[in-house]
Structure 1
């Protein structure tokens, strides 16, 4: 027989969930409602309220070639940062998933990058990749001009991608290590007795078994790349050179707060929100149903 907890005081449950409800309403539903209002209206010149614009703001965005370039750049940024971060994290997790002396120390050290704030990491990596004073400066003295993120768009985008991937390594490492430690050691030992090398055991035995974790991290990292890249780009490149490192979330800031196009920025934020919702739907409704443990 199922037993359910019952509150005798009808007011107490609302008092307990009240702070959470207020936070959700103030920081999610209210901004979302305001974004919807601005996305479907257009501010009158010199004030005077907003006029209903329907889907005109969205049509204007979809006809803008610069916006589609930003979408493609954001997709490349998300896939590159996600792939690099997950690959490095899986490699590190595979190395420390062993009962050897010193592995506990490395297991804790590899998590530290996740505790660093994105703007702080952006400032550090901007110095590291500085062509004049950073570590790359020594290479530029040998081959002048080989690295210049201030004028080369590819260099600037690569710099931001590397920093974003580095920040996500700790998060991915924790999940990959936990997944690897859940695999029975007898399977890896049996593969080793059959002559399989460590890389072959990883590809044929371990990786299929941790596929659910890998798919989960794939979606979460892509979402993070689309939504959490503002701090890095603002501190490292400010969208430059000539807007070549602008991603979707940063373009919303540029158009809304610098270009004062509140309606266009609101429409872009709605598109980004729908993209994140779609990725979340894929994670819970599509990916998990197609992951098998056979």
Structure 2
């Protein structure tokens, strides 16, 4: 039978999983298109003209170009880079997700519609591996965000205190952020080395504990979490210090006069005023935990750790597409991961954004 190269949802041709995923993808596409049309209609009604749809505000722009080609010339380098390295790969990923494509056979492909998506949830070992990577991703991301931001706020508060050499300490705290995740993985691999690592020397020789930091399925995820928190802490501390510098001193003095102790002033005054920064850091740290921990995992626990305990969804995409040469299934996993991040970001904006306090 010659493939038609488009999806059919006939009962004799597709399983229930295929039909469900097909309608889900159609619904997501329709929601995306309707959202864009709704945004355009809202801006149209608000501005009253076509030019006001893409304007930043209600005030007309003052700057003009003598030539209509000059804006295109200035935008061309950025647009070309975005087209080549962002938009085209994204569209090609969607195309690959509907194909049976192998990395070791680039010239041989077959159209399979939504089969690559249904293979992620159908019963079997592949399904268990994907669900395991999903659980690992959610659990490790929650730990990185919650523990990382709490520890960063504490360190930023300590670094903000008027002590001698505070500027030097603040600079040293920011340095780890300049290190790539792969280098962070190598550093912690040396520190947690079972024979010559300083951490194992401390726990084994001084405390009498033998801990398998990278080969124990229960401990290996926490090793990745510790390394990831250390890597992103400089970024978080930098923003929290900037936020603490903008906390009005008169509010703290008023709270002190009203009888509030240090903890009450910090909880009821400082933390609400830091909510815009905290909200921003939640979004950026969630994205980091989903994507940028790949290098740390690959160096600290090659292959996804013992019993796949550190395999995240991003690492699963690498294993499926590069190591197993299944490009179609890897593209489907990447799209699912992308949709998860978008959904989490929208939920964070809807929930946390309402509780954010801007201004004093």
Q: TM-score, normalised by structure 2?
A: 0.76
Matches of 1:3 and 1:40 in 2, distance apart?
44
CA RMSD of aligned residues (A): 2.2
Query: What is the CA distance between 1:202 and its match in structure 2?
Result: 1.3
Cα 1:52–1:110 shift into 2, 3 Å: same
Q: Would the alpha carbon gap of residues 47 and 35 (structure 1) be closer, same or farther in structure 2, given more than 3 Å must change?
A: closer
Aligned residues: 294
Aligned to 2:308: 243
Q: What SS does the aligned partner of 2:320 have?
A: helix
Of residues 104-113 and 219-228 in structure 1, the stretch that sits farther from structure 2 once superposed is 104-113
Distance 1:148 1:75 in 2: 23
5 Å matches for 1:100-119? 100-119=163-182
Q: 1:47 Cα shift?
A: 6.5
**Change over 3 Å in CA distance of 1:20–1:283 after alignment to 2:** farther
SS in 1 for 2:100: strand
Q: Secondary structure at the match of 1:5?
A: coil
C-alpha deviation, 1:285, in angstroms: 5.0
| Aligned pairs for 1:164-179 within 5 A | 164-179=228-243
Give the superposition deviation at 1:286: 4.9
Q: Do 1:212 and 1:291's aligned partners in 2 also have CA atoms closer than 8 Å?
A: yes
1:73 aligns with 2:132: no
Report the counterpart of residue 186 of structure 2 in structure 1: 123
Matches within 5 A, 1:62-211: 62-63=121-122, 64-138=127-201, 139-141=203-205, 146-211=210-275
Q: CA deviation at 1:220?
A: 1.4
The answer to whether structure 1 residue 4 and structure 2 residue 62 are counterparts is yes
8 A contact 1:136–1:147 mirrored in 2: no
Write the distance in 2 (CA, Å) between the matches of 1:169 and 1:90.
Answer: 9
Q: Give unpaired runs (5+ residues) of structure 1.
A: none
Matched, 1:269 2:334: yes
**Cα 1:142–1:183 shift into 2, 3 Å:** closer
Structure 1 CA distance for aligned equivalents of residues 233 and 117 of structure 2? 36
Aligned to 2:281: 217
Shift of 1:119: 1.1
Q: Distance in 1 between matches of 2:246 and 2:209?
A: 49
Residue 55 of structure 1 corresponds to 114
SS in structure 2 of the partner of residue 6 of structure 1 = coil
**Cα distance in 2 between the residues matched to 1:34 and 1:113:** 35
Q: CA deviation at 1:131?
A: 2.1
Q: 2:98 aligns with which of 40, 51, 57?
A: 40
CA distance in structure 1 between the aligned counterparts of 2:338 and 2:183, rounded to whole angstroms: 26
Q: In the aligned structure 2, how far is the partner of 1:222 from the partner of 1:77? A: 10
Q: Which has the larger radius of gyration?
A: 2
**Aligned partners of 1:3 and 1:140: how far apart in 2?**
67
Helix, strand or coil for the counterpart of 1:37?
A: helix
Q: How far off is 1:290 after superposition?
A: 4.0
In 1, distance between residues paired with 2:131 and 2:182?
Answer: 27
Partner deviation per Cα, 1:172-192 (whole Å, 9 max, x = no partner) = 111111122111011222333
- Structure 1 residues 47, 177: closer, same or farther in 2, change over 3 A? closer
Q: Which moved more, 1:246-255 or 1:175-184?
A: 175-184
Which residue among 39, 59, 83 is the counterpart of 1:25? 83
In 1, are the aligned partners of 2:200 and 2:210 still within 8 Å (CA)? Answer: no
Closer, same or farther: CA 104–121 of 1 in aligned 2, 3 Å: same
Structure 2 alignment gaps of length 5 or more: 1-58
Inter-partner Cα distance in structure 2 for 1:150 and 1:210: 36
Shift of 1:141: 3.8
